[in-house]
Amino acid sequence: MATSEVVTANASGTLTIGGDLKVNRLGYGAMRITGKGIWGEPQDPETAKKVLRRAVELGVNFIDTADSYGPEVSERLIGEALAPYADGVVIATKAGLTRQGPDKWLPVGRPEYLQQQVEMSLRRLKRERIDLWQLHRIDPKVPVEESLGVIKKMQEQGKIGHVGLSEVKPREIDQARKVIDIVSVQNLYNIGDRTHEDVVDYCTKHGLAFIPWFPVAAGKLTQPGGKLDAAAKRHGVTLSQLSIAWLLRRSAVMLPIPGTSSVEHLEENVAAASVKLSDAEWKEIEQSAK
């Protein structure tokens, strides 16, 4: 895929979330602009802001974050780097996971807590309204009807545009949809981990955006000399680009959000939007990734 032209997210096509949020189908996940273990400040905050600004320059108009990234750090950096926001830039955030230290996460879905976190997210992001708010995890100690009930009230107040879920099964999506309109689902999914294939199919059928976190294949699949590595080299692309391009092809409702703290890597990820392989080649790659 050698080319001197700069590929933008426009090449990924578009997806309309919730009937009114039209975005390019290649977004940016802002988890990695924090410190190690998704904890604390990044080593170089200015570089983190450059990555965010460059993403928007490259046509990325869907940026996903969460109050727990840092915690608070990712949202704050987005507000500092991008506000006032360019027209059409959609910011999605999440709440419902608390932090007890690096790489430690604990769900809390109490209504008063979620209400507080929405208010804090608005302040840090420098927004009057959250375009897409997502319940980061369903708290097993709190009925989802209670967690989403307060979110529905905040939506009615105009503080939240649309609502999504994260790490859920189809039956949980059905349960949530009885409380509030759900427009998106964010689950772990990539070419090497297709555990949530049923959720992708559910979202495709019902027209919900599917936002795969951890979109790039990892582990044994990506070892040098392996089948995926060989396929990537054969087509002149990187493993990351191959992974992202496969996701874009998998479903019209797919919205990958690869994250990085490097401008160079960001540009590489966005260039995945122009990767084009034949059906036979994709089938071979899918088989090798099983």
Q: What CA–CA distance (Å, rounded) separates 260 from 268?
A: 10
Q: What CA–CA distance (Å, rounded) separates 272 from 39?
A: 29
pLDDT of residue 1: 47
Tokens at 71, concatenated:
């915690």
* pLDDT, tens only, 192-215: 899 999 999 999 999 999 999 999
- Whether 14 maps to a domain, the answer reads yes
- Whether 119 maps to a domain, the answer reads yes
* pLDDT, tens only, 101-147: 999 999 999 999 999 999 999 999 999 999 999 999 999 999 999 99
- Whether 126 maps to a domain, the answer reads yes
Alpha helices, DSSP H, located in the chain = 45-57, 73-82, 111-125, 144-156, 170-177, 197-206, 227-234, 239-250, 263-270, 279-288
Q: Would the pLDDT of 60 be above 70?
A: yes
Q: Would the pLDDT of 3 be above 60?
A: no
> pTM of this prediction?
0.96
Annotated active-site positions, please? 69
- Whether 275 maps to a domain, the answer reads no
pLDDT of residue 120: 98
Mean pLDDT of the chain: 95
Instruction: Report, as an integer, the average pLDDT of 11-24.
Output: 98
* pLDDT, tens only, 229-282: 888 888 899 999 999 999 999 999 999 999 999 999 999 999 999 999 999 989
- Whether 3 maps to a domain, the answer reads no
∠ Cα 216 177 143 (to 5°): 90
Among candidate residues 212, 181, 187, the one with its CA nearest the CA of residue 20? 181
Q: Would the pLDDT of 2 be above 50?
A: no
pLDDT of residue 151: 98
- Whether 182 maps to a domain, the answer reads yes
**Structural domain count, the chain:** 1
- Whether 135 maps to a domain, the answer reads yes
CATH number at residue 191: 3.20.20.100
Instruction: Report, as an integer, the average pLDDT of 61-81.
Output: 98
Tell me the residue range of the domain where 82 lies: 9-215+252-260
**DSSP β-ladder status, 104-107 and 90-95:** unpaired
Q: Would the pLDDT of 4 be above 70?
A: no
- Whether 149 maps to a domain, the answer reads yes
Residue 13 identity (one-letter amino acid): G
